[in-house]
Amino acid sequence: MAFDFFRSESFQKTLFSLLILAFLGGVGGGHYYLFTTLQSVQKRQESVRRQEQSVKHAVQTDESLLQLYKRILSSLSRQPVAFPQDQVAFLSNVEKQLTEVGVEKVSITSTRVNTGGMLTATVQFTGPYYQVLEGIAGWRTMEEIVRMQSLSIKFESSGGISGTTLLETRVRGGVE
């Protein structure tokens, strides 16, 4: 009798309906799982695309900076390196760059040329701000190589500035 229940038509229809319902539920669940996985992969793919564009831009920027560096280095290597003849010539050129733009030289003191041919000079100056900047730029354009080791600037109540700098160069003749 218990087996007759399983053989009944209503049981078989119910069982068949439940199997179809389970199959459709499995298909729907599988579809949902695949859809959400696909969305996740697409989001990651878009993120990777954005990162790729960012890296490409950074690489292009680095390449252009490298090319610029190479051009500048090439132009610098073509410029002749000149050292001042002696201490007097160097100090004269330093003072000349200041006076040409209207900056007043307060004092220039220098050390003796050391055994390596290095000369340091302390320059004190005063003048209008932009003219002082022009004077400093003038030191950069001198024929002789000069290194600004330090610079201190103080604004004056008169509207100008006063400053002190320590310049360094190598004298061609070495020790005087």
> Would you say 166 and 147 are in contact if contact means Cβ atoms under 8 Å apart?
no
For residue 63, the enclosing domain spans 2-78
Predicted confidence pLDDT, tens digits, the chain (176 residues): 556 666 778 888 888 899 999 999 999 999 999 999 999 999 999 999 999 999 999 999 999 999 999 988 888 777 677 788 888 888 888 899 999 999 998 899 888 777 778 889 999 999 999 999 999 998 888 888 888 999 999 998 888 899 999 999 888 765 44
At 176 the pLDDT is 43
> What is the C-alpha separation between 105 and 163, in angstroms, rounded?
10
Q: Are residues 113 and 96 both part of a single domain?
A: yes
E strand or H helix that includes residue 76: helix 9-78
Query: What are the CA-CA distances from residue 176 to residues 71, 72, 86, 114 (Å)?
Result: 38, 35, 8, 9
> What is the C-alpha separation between 29 and 13, in angstroms, rounded?
24
In the DSSP assignment, the letter for residue 73 is H
Domains: count for the chain: 2
At 124 the pLDDT is 95
Q: From 46, 78, 110, give the residue that closes a domain.
A: 78
Q: Are residues 102 and 132 both part of a single domain?
A: yes
Residue 59 is assigned to a structural domain of this protein: yes
Residue 53 is assigned to a structural domain of this protein: yes
> What is the C-alpha separation between 52 and 39, in angstroms, rounded?
20
Find all residues with CB under 8 Å of 150, minimum gap 6, and list them: 165, 166
Laid out side by side, the sheet with 104-110 consists of: 104-110, 118-127, 161-170, 147-155
Query: What are the CA-CA distances from residue 169 to residues 27, 35, 135, 153 (Å)?
Result: 84, 73, 17, 21
> Would you say 115 and 175 are in contact if contact means Cβ atoms under 8 Å apart?
yes
Q: Are residues 73 and 93 both part of a single domain?
A: no
Q: From 78, 101, 119, give the residue that closes a domain.
A: 78
